[in-house]
Amino acid sequence: MLRSLSSKNDFFGGLFFIYRIGCIMLFVPAVCITVIWAFVELKAKYL
């Protein structure tokens, strides 16, 4: 009983870890693109 519970916990821990990594991998490029786009827009406006 205890062993199956702990393996289930490990499974959910692994899923959460993958989910977190996926969020970071999606979030970081999105932020970079937004920053670059904002920079280009400002440059086009003021230069």
Summarised one tens digit per residue, pLDDT across range 1-47 is 456 666 777 888 888 999 999 989 999 999 999 999 999 999 998 87
Q: Which residues contact 18 (CB under 8 A, 6 or more apart)?
A: none
DSSP letter, residue 1: -
Q: What is the pLDDT of residue 39?
A: 95
Q: What is the pLDDT of residue 47?
A: 76
Measured distance CA(24)–CA(18) in Å, rounded: 10
Q: Residue 44 is which amino acid?
A: A
Q: What is the pLDDT of residue 34?
A: 96
pTM beyond 0.75: the answer is no
Q: What is the pLDDT of residue 4?
A: 64
Q: Residue 17 is which amino acid?
A: F
Measured distance CA(47)–CA(39) in Å, rounded: 11
Q: Residue 22 is which amino acid?
A: G
